[in-house]
């Protein structure tokens, strides 16, 4: 039964063995809950209301932090919201989660990260960050919080800590642009992990061993590895190559923007050996279509070589010390530079992000230069495989 509450009567209420409510006569639905005596008898304010045919209860705050007068003010505001069709409990929940790290991370991943990286980034944040910050407000996260979190990650995975720092830095920069926070707490923090720039380049003998071992693999897997060396493109870009991206007659492979690391469409000239590998796969695919009477080909060129585990197992057959797949891209770039290809052209082939004046004013496609360079690299590679002395150095100059 509603009671004419006063500040004095509220203060004098004592707990009982079981929790109970005292309702207010002035603000309908406003109630003070008194907890069980053996639980401490804590007091808290709430208000009950009906909206969309449902009874709801909204917690307003604890007594005595929230006194009777303030509780009535909040209760009155809640009832005004209900009169306008707004559920104050839902509004409170939205306000609580709108700018939490967990909520913003979800928005960031789905709107600012390429689809192909969603799962990777989501898994990384879940493993390294969300357990600590999911319910933290973005505005409450400090530079010290960042340092402490990265230090914990660095104890088990220093390089992962560096990658996490980079992700957080980009995320908070976006939050600044969207007026969620006013400063980036990652700015001014050091990279916790010490990284050494890898400079592994395969020797000529290692290239021959790699090529010979690749040739023993199934056709699609062999092509996947050889194309990485011939084209100098990234592993994922080669692995997910689609037939729709290829112009075998013109000798071009166009990597769409959504698949390239820098978000820009990238045209890769196909040298004679690269075209030979792809043409053989195309003929095999056409034969399959004809035999099975299937109207359309597989989407991906290298369907049988897209699994990371399959790739790793295949790499073991090369028997190269301290080998990583990315070494092929570095080897191609290094040997192109050694045979006279300009660094700018190599950068265009590698599809590196450009900065400064070049990125603004240089709109030249470099298609011709890239073709000359990759054709030259194919001749250099062939000369290395066939052990033709001197040919590797002069191949580009004769082009």
269: helix, strand or coil? strand
Q: Within this chain, do residues 134 and 233 fall inside the same structural domain, yes or no? A: no
CATH number at residue 23: 3.30.160.390
Q: What does the pLDDT look like over 53-70, one tens digit per residue?
A: 889 999 898 998 889 998
Asked if 34 and 20 touch (Cβ cutoff 8 Å), the reply is yes
Average the pLDDT over 391-396 and give the result: 45
Counting the structural domains of the chain, the total is 3
The encoded tokens of residue 293 equal 């009477």
Scanning the structure block, which residue is given the tokens 């230069």?
369
Asked if 321 and 342 touch (Cβ cutoff 8 Å), the reply is no
For the cut 70, the answer to whether the pLDDT of residue 295 exceeds it is: yes
The encoded tokens of residue 151 equal 């230090």
Q: Within this chain, do residues 257 and 300 fall inside the same structural domain, yes or no? A: yes
Query: H helices within the chain, ranges in order?
Result: 7-12, 68-83, 88-97, 101-112, 118-125, 131-133, 143-154, 158-177, 204-214, 219-231, 235-239, 272-292, 308-315, 326-338, 343-350, 356-361, 367-385, 391-398
Kindly state whether residue 303 falls inside one of the protein's structural domains: yes
Give percent of the chain above pLDDT 70.
91
Confidence class of residue 393 from pLDDT cuts 50, 70 and 90?
A: very low
Q: Within this chain, do residues 108 and 156 fall inside the same structural domain, yes or no? A: yes
Strand ranges, E, within the chain:
20-23, 30-34, 43-51, 54-63, 246-247, 252-255, 266-269
φ, ψ for residue 214, nearest 5 deg: -60, -35
164: helix, strand or coil? helix
For the cut 60, the answer to whether the pLDDT of residue 160 exceeds it is: yes
Confidence class of residue 362 from pLDDT cuts 50, 70 and 90?
A: low
The encoded tokens of residue 254 equal 């166009």
**pTM of the shown model:** 0.60
Q: Within this chain, do residues 145 and 273 fall inside the same structural domain, yes or no? A: no
What's the pLDDT score for residue 192? 84
d(CA 251, CA 271): 7
What's the pLDDT score for residue 146? 95
Q: Within this chain, do residues 86 and 117 fall inside the same structural domain, yes or no? A: no
Contacts for 116-125: CB closer than 8 Å, 24+ residues apart: 116/236, 116/240, 116/258, 116/259, 121/167, 124/160, 124/163, 124/164, 124/167, 125/167
Domain span including residue 167: 101-177
d(CA 99, CA 105): 10
Q: Which of 96, 115, 146 is the last residue of a domain?
A: 96
Q: Within this chain, do residues 84 and 157 fall inside the same structural domain, yes or no? A: no
What's the pLDDT score for residue 20? 93
Q: Within this chain, do residues 227 and 359 fall inside the same structural domain, yes or no? A: yes
Q: Within this chain, do residues 171 and 248 fall inside the same structural domain, yes or no? A: no
Handedness of CA 246, 252, 256, 260 (dihedral sign): positive
Kindly state whether residue 286 falls inside one of the protein's structural domains: yes
What's the pLDDT score for residue 258? 81
Q: Within this chain, do residues 280 and 390 fall inside the same structural domain, yes or no? A: yes
Kindly state whether residue 17 falls inside one of the protein's structural domains: yes
Query: CA-based angle 263:282:331, to the nearest 5?
Result: 50
Q: Within this chain, do residues 145 and 89 fall inside the same structural domain, yes or no? A: no
For the cut 80, the answer to whether the pLDDT of residue 363 exceeds it is: no
Kindly state whether residue 195 falls inside one of the protein's structural domains: no
Q: Which of 44, 79, 96 is the last residue of a domain?
A: 96
Q: Within this chain, do residues 331 and 222 fall inside the same structural domain, yes or no? A: yes
End-to-end CA distance of the chain: 97
Radius of gyration of the CA atoms of the chain, in A: 32
CATH number at residue 352: 1.10.443.10
Q: Within this chain, do residues 123 and 32 fall inside the same structural domain, yes or no? A: no
Kindly state whether residue 311 falls inside one of the protein's structural domains: yes
d(CA 31, CA 57): 10
What's the pLDDT score for residue 94? 63
What's the pLDDT score for residue 392? 47
Kindly state whether residue 252 falls inside one of the protein's structural domains: yes
Q: Which of 159, 177, 195 is the last residue of a domain?
A: 177
Kindly state whether residue 197 falls inside one of the protein's structural domains: no
For the cut 50, the answer to whether the pLDDT of residue 227 exceeds it is: yes
Kindly state whether residue 185 falls inside one of the protein's structural domains: no
């Amino acid at each position: 039964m509603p009671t004419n509450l006063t500040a004095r009567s509220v203060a004098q209420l004592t707990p009982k063995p079981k929790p109970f409510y005292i309702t207010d006569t002035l603000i309908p639905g406003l109630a003070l809950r008194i907890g069980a005596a053996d639980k401490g008898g804590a007091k808290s304010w709430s208000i009950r209301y009906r909206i969309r045919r449902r009874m709801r209860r909204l917690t307003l705050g604890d007594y005595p932090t929230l006194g009777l007068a303030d509780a009535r003010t909040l209760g009155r505001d809640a009832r005004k919201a209900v009169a306008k069709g707004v559920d104050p409990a839902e509004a409170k929940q939205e306000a609580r989660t709108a700018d939490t790290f967990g909520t913003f991370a979800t928005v960031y991943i789905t709107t600012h990260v390429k689809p192909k990286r969603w799962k990777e980034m989501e898994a990384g944040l879940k493993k390294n960050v969300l357990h600590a910050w999911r319910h933290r407000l973005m505005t409450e996260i400090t530079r010290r919080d960042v340092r402490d979190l990265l230090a914990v990650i660095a104890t088990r995975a220093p390089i992962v800590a560096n990658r996490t720092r980079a992700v957080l830095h980009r995320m908070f920069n976006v939050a600044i642009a969207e007026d969620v926070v006013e400063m980036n707490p990652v700015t001014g923090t050091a990279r916790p992990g010490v990284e050494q720039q890898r400079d592994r380049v395969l020797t000529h003998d290692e290239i021959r061993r790699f090529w010979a071992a690749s040739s023993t693999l199934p056709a699609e897997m062999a092509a996947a590895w050889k194309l990485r060396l011939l084209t100098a493109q990234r592993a994922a870009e080669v692995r997910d190559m689609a037939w729709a991206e290829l112009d075998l007659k013109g000798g071009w492979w166009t990597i769409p923007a959504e698949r390239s690391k820098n978000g820009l469409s990238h045209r890769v000239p196909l040298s004679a050996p690269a075209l030979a590998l792809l043409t053989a796969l195309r003929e095999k695919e056409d034969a399959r279509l004809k035999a099975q009477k299937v109207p359309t080909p597989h989407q991906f060129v290298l369907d049988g070589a897209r699994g990371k585990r399959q790739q790793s197992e295949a790499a073991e057959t090369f028997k190269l010390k301290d080998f990583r797949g990315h070494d092929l891209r570095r080897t191609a770039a290094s040997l192109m530079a050694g045979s006279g290809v300009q660094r700018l052209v190599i950068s265009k082939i590698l599809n590196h992000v450009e900065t400064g004046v070049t990125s603004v004013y240089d709109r030249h496609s470099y298609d011709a230069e890239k073709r000359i360079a990759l054709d030259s690299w194919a001749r250099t590679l062939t000369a290395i495989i066939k052990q033709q002395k001197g040919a590797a150095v002069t191949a580009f100059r004769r082009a």
